[in-house]
């Protein structure tokens, strides 16, 4: 068939970044809400856990997107 055009590769890269960002945001939101309102943790602790989970989710999504 041939190589994809530059526009196709750019569009694909944007989709990958969106996929990664969506996973990070959802993981952070879930963990913050869980820690803050279910486990009654402090705001600082909740944010720290949210950041940790966001980084982990972004890493996993990155690996999945590059399969």
Phi-psi region of 3 (alpha: psi -120 to 50; beta: other; left: phi over 0): beta
Q: What is the pLDDT of residue 7?
A: 67
pLDDT at res. 24: 98
| pLDDT score, position 13 | 87
Condensed to tens digits (0 to 9), the pLDDT of residues 7-61 reads: 677 788 899 999 999 999 999 999 999 999 999 999 999 999 999 999 999 999 9
Give the pLDDT score at 9. 76
**Domain map (residue ranges) of the chain:** 23-67
What's the pLDDT at 33?
A: 98
Angle between helices 43-65 and 6-33 (to 10 degrees): 150
């Amino acid at each position: 068939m041939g190589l994809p055009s530059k526009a196709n590769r750019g569009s694909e890269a944007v989709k990958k970044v969106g996929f990664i960002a969506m996973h990070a945001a959802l993981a952070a939101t879930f963990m913050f809400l869980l820690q803050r309102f279910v486990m009654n943790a402090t705001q600082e602790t909740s944010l720290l856990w949210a950041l940790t989970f966001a980084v982990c989710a972004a890493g996993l999504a990155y690996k999945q997107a590059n399969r």
